[in-house]
Structure formats: C-alpha cells, structure tokens
Amino acid sequence: MAATASSAYNPFRSETDPIVPAPGNPASLHATEASNLQPTVSAPANATTSASGSTMIQCLNVFSAAGLTSNEVAAELRSDLEHGLPTAEAARRIQFNGYNEFDLAEKESLFGKYVEQFKNPLILLLLASAAVSVLMKQFDDALSITIAVVIVVSVGFVQEYRSEKTLEQLNKLVPPTAHCIRDGRSVQFLARELVPGDLVTLTVGDRVPADVRLIETIDLQINESSFTGETEPRHKHAMPLQAPSASGIEHLDNIAFMGTLICSGRGQGIVVGTGANSKFGEVFTMMNSVEAPKTPLQNSMDVLGTQLSIYSFAVIGVIFVIGLIQGRAVLDMFTIGVSLAVAAIPEGLPVVVAVTLAIGVMRMGHRQVVVKKLSAVETLGCVTVICSDKTGTLTKNEMTATVVLAADGSRADVSGVGYDATDGICTTEMGEKVSGHSHPGVTRVIEIGCVCNNAQIINNTVLGQPTEGALMVLAMKTQLDISRSYFKRVKEMPFSSETKWMAVQVEPTNRPGAHEVMVKGALDKVIDMCHGYYAHGGHIMPISDAQKEQILNHGRGLGTAGLRVIAVASGKDMQSLGYAGLVGILDPPRPGCQESVEIIQSAGVAVKMITGDSVETACSIAQRLGIYQPNDSVLSGPQIEAMSDMDLERVISNVVVFYRANPHHKLKIVKALQGIGEVVAMTGDGVNDAAALKTSDIGIAMGISGTDVCKEAADMVLVDDNFLTIRNAIEEGKGIYHNITNFVRFQLSTSVAALSLIALSTLFHFENPLNAMQILWINIIMDGPPAQSLGVEPVDADIIRQKPRDVKQPMITKSLIGSILSSAAIIIVGTMFVFYKEMSADNKITPRDTTMTFTCFVLFDMWNALSCRSSRKLIWEIGLVRNKMFCIAVSASLLCQLAVIYFAPLQRIFQTEALSLFDLVFLTALTSTVFIFNESKKYIELRSIRSLPFFDGSKQNNL
C-alpha cells in the first residue's frame, strides 16, 4: 500500500535528481524504529543531542538547503524521499522544534489598552485639573474636563483597537492544512503540525505551508510577490544551486517559501524551516522588534501639554507671590491660583484635535484613503521624502504593447492603454491599419506572441502574466487572437529565470503531422538562438553578427524609452529558428501622476522611486514622471547591500531612483533617510515591506495589491494604489494641522482673555465684571460649536504647495504667541472699557452692567473666531460661507446669547436684562475691532510675503 501511494507521485520525479533512500535512513524505516536510528551513522550538522541522548533535528537554513542535492537535504534532516517521516518521529520533532506557527505575545487586555490612552501629558494635565477642581468644589469645571477626557480617550481607544492587529494577520497567511507523506501514505492535516524533514506535496492553488526545499517539479510556478515584489510568478526547479548567495532570496529557485501561492504546475519537497525559523518567521521577528515612531502631531501635542503645564504653574506662582505681597492668607491665594490655572487649561483642545482628525479620516475615505490611526492623518503634511514603488503606484500595472518592429524592417505603432482591446488600433508608419494578415511582417510577430502565450483576457482583465496579457490584447486589436485556433499545441517549454524564454511546439490544423516551434523571450537570448531572420516575402534569410548587433541596438533604444522588449522567433525546430521581430511593451504612468509629482516636489517634498526594473527602464519612467533628470544619482539594490549605513546616509539625499531593488532594501533606505533627519513616507504591498512600513514615519500600503500583513503594518491604505491619492492625502494632512493651529489660536486667546479678566479683578480687588453662570456660558462657547467648527474648515486648494512643517518646531511658536496675546489684549481692554463705562454712571454693579460686559465678551469671541478661520488668507479670499458648520455654530451661539438677554427665565438664571438696539449696534462695532486688527495684521504680512521675487504660494508656511 505504501509503495502504491508513493508511486502515485513518482511521475513528478525529476530525471536529473532521482529519488533514492537517504544514506543511513532506509526506505523501510517504520514508526516503531524511529527512536532507534542506526548508531553507526553520524548525526547531521543541524542535529543536536537531547538530555535523553536522542538526536533532535533542527531546521535547515534555506541558503544551505538550496546548495544541497535532494539526497543531501534528506540526509541532513534524517528524512526519506519515498515514505517521508514516521508519525512517531514527527511527534518527537514537534516537542523539540515546536509547532509551525508564530508565538504571539500575550494580548494586552481591553482595560490595559484603554488605560494606555491616558499616557499623554495633556490628558494627565487635564485629569490633574479635574482633581483640583473637585478639591476646590468647582464641580462644573471638573465635570466638563472629565467629559472631554472621556471623549478623547474613547476615540483613541477605538482607533487603536481596530488597527493594531499586525501580528495576528501574520498568522492568517499560514495555510491551515498541508498535504504530506508520512509512513509512506498521503495524508492531510493542520499545517501547524509540520516539522523539519516532512515530505509535502504542492498543487495549484495551495499556499506553501512552510519553507520547502523542492525535490520534484513539473512546470511549477509560484507567486512570490509578497516577498520579492515581483508581479510575475517564479519558475521553480529541483536542481541544487551552485554557491547560492545569502544576500537575498530572489535567486533561490529550488526553495518554496511559506505563505507564497502556487500558480501553476505541481511539486514535492522537504520542509526545511517551520514557524519562526522560516523566512516568513524572520519578518515576524522583525515586526515584533520594530517600534513605530511617534507621529509629529503626537510629539507636538506632548510638547503643548508640557508648555501648558509650565504656564499654569507660572500663573499659580505669580499670583501666589502677589497675594503674599498684598498680605493675603496663603491658603486663599493658593486656592485662587489653582482655580485660575485650571480655568486656563483648554480642556476642549484634545476633543477638537480628535474630532478634527476623525473628520480628516472621513474626508480621506472619500478620496480613496483608509487611515488606521487618527494621529497619522496629519503626518503626511510633515513628510519631506516619499519613497514610492513604481509598478501599480506610479504606473498603472497594465502592460501595454505600444510598438512592433518586424525583422523585414516594417514597423507598427499601437494606440490605447490597458487590457481593453476596443481602446486603440495598430497602424503602420504610413497610417494603414493592421488587421488580420494585412501586413505579413508585423502580423507574424503578433501571431507568434499570441500562440506562444498562456494568458487570457476576460472582461478586460488579464488572467496570467501581465506581459503575456499585453501580447494578447495586441492580437485582439488586430483580429489575430483567432490564431490560437489555427494551431494545436503539442509541447511547451516554459519560461524560466535561467533561459529567459518560452517555447511551444505546435501543429497547424490545416497541415496535420507538420510541426512548428514558436519562441518568445528576452531579446538577447532569442537572437542568440536564431540562425536566420524573416525577410520580405516570408523567407528565412541567414543572419549576420552585424545584423544581430543592429537588432540589439533597436532593443536598447526601446529600453531607454522605458519599454520592456519581447523578441519572437519561429521555425521548424529549435535548430532552424528565424528571428521574426520584437514588441515594445509599456507600463504606462497613471493619469495625473506627473502633475502630482511636480506639485509635491514644488512643496519641498522629494519623491524617490523604487523598482525592480533595469536602470534604463527605471530612469526612463522616472524621467517621464519628472522624478529623474539626466544628472541625478541612481542606486541599485546590490549597491545598497554593499554599503554601510553611514555610506548610504552620505549619498542617499541625492539618489532619486533605486533600481533592481527588492523589498528588503526598503528598510535600509528608510533608516538612512531618517538618519539624516528626513520625515519619510514609504509605500509597500508585500510581506517583506511590513517592517519598512512600520519603521517609516508613515507607512502607505496598497489596497489592491497589498497583503494583509502589509495593510495592517501601515498607517494608511491607498484603496486604488494610486500615487495621485498620496497627493490628496498630503493636502488633507496639511489642512488638518492648519485647522488645529487655528483652533489653538482662538481658544488660547479667548482663554487668556477670560483668565486675565478674573485674575486682574481678584488681584486688585476690582469688582468682578462677570458672574459664575456667565463665565460658564463663555467656557461653553469657547470649547463648544464655534470652536469645534474651526476644525472642519475646508482645505485650501493651494495648501498642497505649502512647505512641509518643521517637526522640531513646537505648535506654540513665537508668531502664534504674538497673535494670542494681541487678540487677548484687545478683548481685555474692550471688555473692561464697557464694564467701567457702564458702572461709572452709578458706581455700583447692576444687571445692565454685567449684561453689557457679558455680551461684549461673547461678541468679541465670535469676531475672534471669524478671524481665526485662516492664517494664510484673508476672510474674503476664503469666503464667508464656505465653512457651513462655522456659520451654523456662530448663528446658533448668537441666537442663544439673545435668548439669555431677552428670555425672562434665562434672565433670572444669568442675571441679565434686555438691551436696546443701540446697545447691540454699539457692542457689535466695538467688538469688531479684534477682527479688523487681525485681518489688517494678516494683510500686511501676506502683502510683504507675496511681494517677494518668484513668489509661488509656497512661502505661506505656518503664518
């Protein structure tokens, strides 16, 4: 039975690497003999001896395994190439190596995650303020502060809980089951139970369950894009490699890696690495060790919390000292000082920041961006370097044939982009349409590309390799896709990374028994195989070395233009091939991408392209997008590996294109850029990109082509994989920070004014111009809808051209402090003027006096909020009604203020009385001074900036 089961798989066997029992491990070994291995056989190099004296088999390094023959691998792992491992031996190895899974760190409890949100200086300051308010029996302040803290902490907790699942997603890519041969029988069980030495079988649609050294392959192709970034599947074989390099995994074509997908063919192999000892496990370990940096906004808010703490203690200290000088009781002065300091802290600030970021998340959602962390929304506004993948991000990842050069000298150009065959036609240099066999030289090239092809186009989507899809669309545009029905495929020689060509042997349906070979592949490989070329009339003529060199020059010219060159040939057999021509294939740039790159660069953000393409193709595409200029520096993946971190940091600022680069180079690029002080955004889509995405200041994952691990490690996901979307996100990020600073300016100026009024009255024994209910109402306006509406101000269209803000610069700058103090001074002087003007009539405080003063302060607040809508533009430039939420909030606040003045029940509560129309007009005119002053100051500043030579709008940075 065992022999039958084994022989069922024997047809897959490679004739060059026959299966024989491993030395010292007879094929007849059974489970009962597993613990009594031949004592005369020395233990393999990767084996250790346990305390009980039995031999324990460890995982085998993939680079070592790649250089060994199948028999040598089996000997190292004490396995059997026919019968696999005995069940008892596999159970014993699990005890030593552990299960084929990742050991996730113990999950933090939900309560722990919630408590984590409180570790923020501003939140801790607010909590301290609430505690002091309770001690001072100011329960209304304590309640408002507590509500603000709960809102902020809850919003942050929900976002964190939904986003931080990176390590859990890693386990999801480990396939749940595996097909294995144990005890000579084919069995299926959970992949977590695989051990080193297990013999596994792989078929189409399977995910590879562990790192496997292949011992048998038949047309096996594996999609390794999650590791290597290459979109085309890798062709795998079972032959040992000669001195495999340990610097990358792309060349390990006899290894199947955990988590990769079998696209076609079938195979068999020995497990050499499981769990954390697999290449996938290395990504897991790296992810576990890398800590995501704090976002610039988080750092700014931390600094702001510290600054407010210092200012609060300074207020307490100053008032306390003045009170002692005046001879007041120590306890009284301490109580007054603490109360004023608590009142000065803007408890609405964290709420507005959270709400503004949440609205930014929703806005970005409408612009094809999914943001996973609230604090990351604003980070793109600080980015100084964007490192972007080429394929699918800067380009459409829709390979398109654009030119056909036939061996007889004829040429045809192809219009249209993508896989829609109805979009575009093929025309000759004379403008004649190519259709059917109208132009023999050109159509022969197209026909070979169609027949020597495994792709299909269904509903404008390619099933198969993108390059082959481009050739099929070309055939459909010329009505030559029917050519496949003219030939019966007899044999196929698949493409491999070594040969770089594919061939099919076909039999024409109208000539039974006749055979023809068609070949397509890399130009240099195909031309070397050709003994002739197709001349006019379809005759094969001898080809000279000079003609071959001329053809190669044509190919280099197309490569320099950014095209991938595919050559085709045909003949009776492989020894009589005639060169037919070549096809230039373009991965076209995405629409609007060039403009986006130009706009981003004009704002002081460097764009660097990372691709696996050749230097010619990479530079051509980059030049077309405006990323590369002829004198710019480029760097290859192998050069990056050969450099030390310091060497890379010295040159990386001048490098704009990284070619022949792989995902594992990205982490080194990120660290080098951060090492020279850059704020880095990195795009990625593969498993190997995860560490670089997490390390970068903002990781951007691809929504269409990205793996789950990549998406979970990133801070944001591009739904459409489009670079244009990054531009939109930068625009939103800059607008969000701009809105937050506008709110800070409004709230702190109003807060300082209110605080100063109370402090001056208290310290100098003046009558208090406002009562407790009126102060509470002012706090509601200060932290309520008018303030919140500043956070939703629409983004200015030209804000994208604003330079990235300096992340080392605190949120409260000297310029901002000046604006806050000037606005507060106007509000204080105006309010005190009204108060003493009204009180001077009878030298006592009446309801009218407090009503006028109260209304004056509220109107000052409204005018101040209007001037705080933008620091970059005058109010008539942004439009009075553009922010509908602001208009509604201010209108509602004014109506409520009128109700407080004229509605009898509210008059009793707030101790107010009705005012005349003249009073309201007088107060409106007086309070507008804060708006007039701020707009005039803004006008002077903007005029001086806009008068600078070569002003392009980008100088208005953080005004």
Q: Which residues of 542-556 are buried (b: 16+ CB within 10 A; e: fewer)?
A: ebeeebbeebeebbe
Quote the pLDDT of residue 803. Answer: 82
Q: 494, 502 in Cβ contact below 8 A? A: yes
926 Cβ neighbours under 8 A, 6+ residues apart:
830, 833, 834, 856
For residue 538, pLDDT over 90 is answered with no
Among 91, 31, 28, smallest CA distance to 56 is for: 91
What residues does each domain of the chain span? 62-100+174-287, 298-362+730-947, 372-394+589-721, 404-582
Number of CB atoms found within 10 A of residue 182's CB: 20
Of 589, 568, 594, 612, whose CA–CA distance to 417 is shortest?
589
* Predicted confidence (pLDDT) at residue 957 exceeds the cutoff of 50: no
Kindly state the greatest CA–CA separation across the chain. Answer: 121
On the CB side of 82, how many CA atoms lie within 13 Å of its CA?
A: 18
Least confident of 245-254, 341-350, 487-496, 790-799: 341-350
Regarding predicted confidence, which is higher, 270 or 847?
A: 270
The DSSP letter of residue 9 is T
- In a 13 Å sphere around the CA of 156, the CA atoms on its Cβ side amount to 23
- For tokens 């290459």, name the residue: 230
pLDDT tier for residue 212 given thresholds of 50, 70 and 90: very high
Of 516-520, 705-709, 733-737, 851-855, the least confident: 705-709
CATH topology of domain 298-362+730-947: Calcium-transporting ATPase, transmembrane domain (1.20.1110)
Give yes or no for a contact between 345 and 311, defined as CB atoms under 8 angstroms apart. no
For residue 284, which phi and psi values (nearest 5 degrees)?
Answer: -60, -50
The more confident residue out of 780 and 89 is: 89
* Predicted local confidence at residue 341, as pLDDT: 61
Q: How many CB atoms lie within 10 A of CB 789?
A: 24
Output Rg (C-alpha) for the chain, integer angstroms: 36
Does the 62-100+174-287 domain belong in CATH 3.30.300.30?
no
CA distance linking residue 26 with residue 584, whole number of Å: 55
- Contact indicator for 155, 374 with CB cutoff of 8 Å: yes
Give Cα separations from 551 to 345, 567, 818 (angstroms). 75, 10, 70
Q: Which CATH class is domain 372-394+589-721?
A: alpha beta
Q: What is the mean pLDDT of the chain?
A: 79
Residues recognised as catalytic: 389
Query: Closest Cα to residue 435, out of 213, 427, 645?
Result: 427
Categorize the per-residue pLDDT at 169 as very low, low, confident or very high, splitting at 50, 70 and 90.
Answer: very low
Sequence-ordered list of residues with C-beta below 8 angstroms from that of 499, at least 6 positions apart, any chain:
521, 525
| Closest CA relative to residue 353, chosen from 891, 672, 737, 785 | 737
- Tell me the pLDDT band of 286, cut-offs 50, 70 and 90: low
How sure is the predictor about 789, in pLDDT bands with cuts at 50, 70 and 90? confident
Query: How large a percentage of the chain has pLDDT more than 90?
Result: 27
Pick the range with the lowest mean pLDDT from 23-37, 183-197, 715-729: 23-37
467 close to 400: Cβ distance less than 8 angstroms: no
Q: In what side-by-side order are the strands of the sheet with 369-371?
A: 369-371, 716-718, 698-702, 680-684, 385-389, 606-610, 655-659, 633-636
**pLDDT higher than 90, residue 926:** yes
| Residue 425: burial class (beta carbons within 10 Å; 0-12, 13-18, 19+) | middle
When pLDDT is averaged across residues 498-520 and rounded to a whole number, the result is: 89
Question: Mind spelling out the 3-state secondary structure of 279-326?
Answer: HHHHHHHHHHHCCCCCCHHHHHHHHHHHHHHHHHHHHHHHHHHHHHHC
pTM: 0.64
* 490 phi/psi in degrees, rounded to 5: -100, -40
63's enclosing H/E stretch is helix 62-66
Of residues 761 and 345, more confidence is placed in: 761
Residues 6+ apart with CB under 8 A from 428: 410, 411, 412, 434, 439, 442
Is residue 748 scored above 70 in pLDDT?
A: yes
Mean pLDDT, residues 116-128 taken together:
68
Tell which residue, 151, 152, 147, 127, has the closest CA to residue 342. Answer: 127
Cα–Cα distance measured from residue 390 to residue 229, given in angstroms and rounded to the nearest whole number: 11
Q: Give the number of other CB atoms < 10 A from CB of residue 727.
A: 23
Q: What band does 506 get if pLDDT is binned at 50, 70 and 90?
A: very high
Burial class (CB in 10 A: 0-12, 13-18, 19+), 124: middle
For residues 161 and 177, the answer to whether their CB atoms sit within 8 Å is no
Q: In this predicted structure, which of 284-293, 407-416, 712-721, 843-852 has the lowest mean pLDDT? A: 284-293
Q: Three-state SS for 62?
A: helix
Decide which of 154 and 155 is more confident: 154
* Residues 29-61: tens digit of each pLDDT: 333 333 333 333 344 666 565 544 456 677 888
H or E element in which residue 863 lies: helix 847-867
Q: What is the pLDDT of residues 175-195, one digit of tens each?
A: 568 899 999 898 988 888 999
More confident position, 950 or 558? 558
pLDDT for the residue numbered 708: 62
pLDDT at 842 over 90: no
3-state helix, strand, coil in the chain (%, to 5): 50, 15, 35
Phi and psi torsions of 540, nearest 5°: -85, 120
Ranges 204-213, 394-403, 519-528, 585-594, most confident: 519-528
Predicted local confidence at residue 246, as pLDDT: 67
Helices (H), 879-916: 884-902, 904-910
**Are the C-beta atoms of 605 and 651 separated by less than 8 Å?**
no
Q: Using the predicted structure, report yes or no on whether residue 15 has a pLDDT greater than 50.
A: no
Q: C-alpha 554: how far from its chain's center? A: 38
Q: Does domain 404-582 have CATH number 3.40.1110.10?
A: yes
pLDDT of residue 292: 56
* Share above pLDDT 70 across residues of the chain, in percent, rounded to a whole number: 79
